[in-house]
Amino acid sequence: MRISIVSDGFRFIIPLLILSAIVIYFKFLILSIVLSILTIFIISFFRDPERKILEGKGIVVSPADGRVVKIQTVKDDTIYGGDAVCISIFLSIFNVHVNRAPYEGVIKKVVYNHGKFLAAFDDKASLLNEQNSILIESQNGEKVLVKQIAGLIARRIVCWVKEGDKVERGLRYGLIRFGSRVDIFLPPDTELKVKVGDKIKGGIDVIGRLR
């Protein structure tokens, strides 16, 4: 079975493969075992499986693989431009880290903020950590905001879209290295389909349905 790897991962995978081959050749047993395990982990981290994206009017899919850790009402968010319901998804180092657009529309804003590197599950992470936000607006004026939030280990947020780009539901738009959190902001009257503790997959599981 073919394993798809996101291109951003090859800068880590190729040097590790070369180094692993060298230490195996010179029979450094313990080091070769350690490097082999690390190489397997990095390949797993940057895996990019194909997903069959759900279709349907008003459906908002998960932007990431992970576990729902918090659902809260947010008042007058600056980037979103009003009140919203926020669903926070924690990604462990074992989850797929490619992020997907949860809804179709045009990218109205891309906002990057430098910040700290608190643990991604910390309540303060969504306010204080380094993060990148994209605001998607549909033809009907519906708004969906997604925030990529760096965690304790994560030190690099990658975003492949820019303001003015048109995105389809499920489109790959970025990733976070290594371990992270993704917050998604939806209209307050959204019919939510998840609860705290749910494990979800990007592009596959439905977060909610816009009314």
Exposed e or buried b for every residue in 158-179, given b needs 16+ CB within 10 A? bbebeeebebebbbbbbbbbbb
Task: Give the pLDDT score at 130.
Answer: 80
pTM (2 d.p.): 0.85
Centroid of chain to Cα 98:
6
Q: What is the mean pLDDT of residues 72-76?
A: 93
Question: What pLDDT does residue 59 have?
Answer: 95
Structural domain containing residue 90: 59-193+201-209
In total, how many domains does the chain have? 2
Residue 165 and residue 85 in one domain: yes
Distance in angstroms (rounded) separating the CA atoms of residues 145 and 125: 17
Question: Could you confirm whether 180 is annotated as catalytic?
Answer: yes
Same domain (yes/no): 14, 103:
no
Distance separating alpha carbons of residues 38 and 122, to the nearest angstrom: 27
- Identify whether residues 34 and 97 lie together within a single domain: no
- Please tell me what DSSP assigns to residue 22: H
pLDDT in tens, 158-196: 899 999 999 999 999 998 876 688 999 999 999 999 999
Q: Which listed residue (20, 32, 88, 180) is catalytic?
A: 180
Q: What is the dihedral of CA 125, 192, 138, 140, to 10 degrees?
A: -140
